[in-house]
Amino acid sequence: MAEWTKRFSIKGRRALITGASRGIGAEICRVFADAGADIVAVARDGDALAEVAADVRALGRDCVTLTADLATAEGPVRAAEAAIEQAGDIDILVNSAGVARVAPALELGLEAWEETMAVNLRAPFLLARTLAPAMIAQRWGKIINISSQTGVIALKDHTAYATSKGALNALTKSLMAEWAEHNVQVNAICPTVVMTPMGRKIWSPEEKSGPFLAATPLGRFGEPVEIADLALYLASPAAELINGAVIMIEGGYSSV
Ligand code: NAP
């Protein structure tokens, strides 16, 4: 085996991935399994999780599926505890579950604000806090938060979503500051629009996507596999020096 492939390998690692029923999270399950990791896939939709699990098993890896509502205070903790019970200690946590409730700030309902904060911010905190002790004990762990470019730069009508992602970026750095000395890396990925069910719902109309694409130097949106490939790098030993990074993956949108 060539030396560089060992540095980029997650073979034999166990990864818990939320938002695994579709979109970016489902793609991360497939890419991580292809790279040799066993998967714990978490979401509410059990049927969709079963399809992702079939893809993972077809790649020769184990897959435990867990249905959980991450909008509740108990859901994330119960899911993390069930994962440890059914699969064993987790080496890699990817927080990909997310909701985007888009509305002008003057019209945004309190319920939308609360759900956004619960799923996008509280759940990653509770999952990380429940799974980190085993990572700390073994002196190896990776926590990857799927944030958003709008956690860093403003987009109209994204008040709750952007606030949750900006806070997720702060959470990423705060957890890093506590756990880096235990060789647990915590990093955030900030994608541009990706045409998953979430991306399509918000950005499908040409009058919305057109100006956005015109302002993007690369001239296109992202693909789920591009986000999954960056997550794979961050999950690998090669990325050990990357700690508390908030990484833009947005075709240059935020640089111009
Ligand atoms: P998606 O296609 O809408 O998928 C969202 C995932 O989150 C689903 O698996 C969903 O599973 C899960 N989820 C939502 N609410 C949940 C809850 N209460 N409990 C448990 N699971 C819940 O979205 P995506 O595009 O893959 O987004 C993945 C991540 O990337 C999100 O954090 C999002 O904010 C971020 N992101 C997306 C884009 C984009 O344009 N797509 C851009 C930047 C960042 P169930 O419905 O089965 O529960």
Tokens of 217: 């130097």
Read out DSSP for the chain? --HHHHHT--TT-EEEEESTTSHHHHHHHHHHHHTT-EEEEEES-HHHHHHHHHHHHHTT--EEEEE--TTSSSHHHHHHHHHHHHH-S-SEEEE---------TTT--HHHHHHHHIIIIIHHHHHHHHHHHHHHHHT-EEEEEE--GGGTS--TT-HHHHHHHHHHHHHHHHHHHHHGGGTEEEEEEEE--B-SHHHHHHH-SHHHHHHHHHT-TT-S-B-HHHHHHHHHHHHSGGGTT--S-EEEESTTGGG-
Short-list 231, 18, 26, 203, CA closest to 121:
18
| Confidence band, pLDDT 50/70/90 cuts, at residue 1 | confident
Residue 105 has pLDDT above 90, yes or no: yes
| Confidence band, pLDDT 50/70/90 cuts, at residue 256 | very high
In tens, the pLDDT along 21-35 reads: 999 999 999 999 999
222 lines ligand 1 (CB under 6 A): no
Residue 201 has pLDDT above 90, yes or no: yes
Q: Is 253 a residue of the active site?
A: no
Residue 97 has pLDDT above 90, yes or no: yes
Distance from the alpha carbon of residue 1 to the mean position of ligand 1, in angstroms: 36
119 lines ligand 1 (CB under 6 A): yes
Query: Which of ligand 1's atoms lies nearest the C-alpha of 201?
Result: 3
In tens, the pLDDT along 135-186 reads: 999 999 999 999 999 999 999 999 999 999 999 999 999 999 999 999 999 9
83 lines ligand 1 (CB under 6 A): no
Mean pLDDT calculated for residue range 71-83: 98
Say which of 161, 203, 221, 253 is annotated catalytic: 161
